Structure 1
Amino acid sequence: MGRLNGKVAVITGGVRGMGAVHAQRFVAEGASVVLTDLLKDEGDALAARPGEKACFVVHDVSNAAGWDALVETAQEAFGPVTVLVNNAGVGQGTPLLDTTEAEYRRIVDINQVGVFLGMKAVIPSMRRAGGGSIVNISSAAGLVGIPGGIAYNASKFAVRGMTKTVAAELASEGIRANSVHPGYIVTPMTEEYGFSLDHPAVRNTPMRRAAQPEEVTGLVVYLASDESSFSTGAEFVDGGNTAV
């Protein structure tokens, strides 16, 4: 334990699924964590569980002013932000011709614009800290096309590209950026869109199974820690989905 001692982390979408598991593991590894979501009651309960090393902020990732206020809160509570985990996101289950413009823009605003705003907001704080690590949660859908996800695919491919751009721009300042591309993970969101453990898309993956959130969290901890000091602009984890 203690791999994240002294780190100040912001984790979006931190109330359910992977985000909640990330937040709890970060605290256990010694980080001070500001977790965000729109689910206030659940967020308050989750933040109270680890104790004084965590706090919860109601936050819409697609709102620029909200990001500025969030970073201010993190700095006042714990100090300059050194880790950002852009985990918040929404899924999709509609083909191109059934996707409305409003739905497309909503998904892109949350999954793509939210990541852009988050990175832009934390970089001044990371500079004051002397460096930092940005971990952007993309998807296997950020590497290959998935039917029924035109907006989701677009947003997750964009996250991959933005991550590489930021990594190239800020490497000399000690600020790293990497993207994580989970395949099928057992979370409320994947269950909502029908990806159960016996779904054909899960059975046909090379590993023949979905992953538990903890299997992604170990990687996120590594990327947030100083152990990954030479890793930037890279892509990690997809359960073999893009290997075949």
Structure 2
Amino acid sequence: MPGGRLDDVDRRHIAAGLAEGLGYAEIGRQLGRPASTVMREVTRNGGPDDYRPERAQQATEQRARRHKQAKPPAPPIPDNAHGRDPEAVAEFTESFTALLIEQGLPRMEARVLACLQITDSGALTAAELVERLRVSPASISNAVAFLEQQGMLRRELVPGARRERYVIDDDIWLRNLVASVQMQNALAAITRRGVEILGPDTPAGARFEQSAEFVVIVGAALRQAMEQWRERLAERSA
């Protein structure tokens, strides 16, 4: 069916066209398909000199079966302490992870952060994250590096061992805010530089000048929020 998936009849037609020396565009025209569709089909199944419709059909069916069998990412294994309802914790974790993703955090980084957040200790080793999230160590390593750069977790050595664990605490959002302020400062500096280079009386320069004013206001608001949070923490400690 034009526009749908290639079937066995289509693949036999492609093989016949290749045998006649037809190009991808002509074969696609006869099938009512884009030439790129024919080219991808032939390239992924042996190329023009070794294309076999039966083998291509079998490979497609195998890929379809693997796709159906693929399971969605498993939710992290929650702590079972304090008499919590495991299903409720798992549902909350999925919702929290989805919100982090909507806010711009990459999927794996969001899963790692949510996994750490729902643990009472707020600290897990790479092996524990691998077990709970059921992903590869490389995925955990890349996610941790990103989150650490954003100030959303920190590393520390496990007491009495050589391995590290990754920790979040009450200052997680404060550290993230510090990173945001640093970024705002850098953005303000470059936008002011843009005004100088482009000229404040030009349309482009005026655009950068307005951007610089906005960035400065945002940076000041972030710094004020940081001070308010530090004051509240000090009050709690007292």
> Could you say whether these structures have the same fold, taking a TM-score greater than 0.5 normalized by the shorter chain as the test?
no
Larger radius of gyration: 2
TM-score category by the smaller chain? under 0.3
TM-score relative to the length of structure 2 = 0.23
TM-score relative to the length of structure 1 = 0.22
Q: Which has the larger helix fraction?
A: 2
Structure with more relative contact order (C-alpha pairs < 8 Å, separation 6 or more): 1
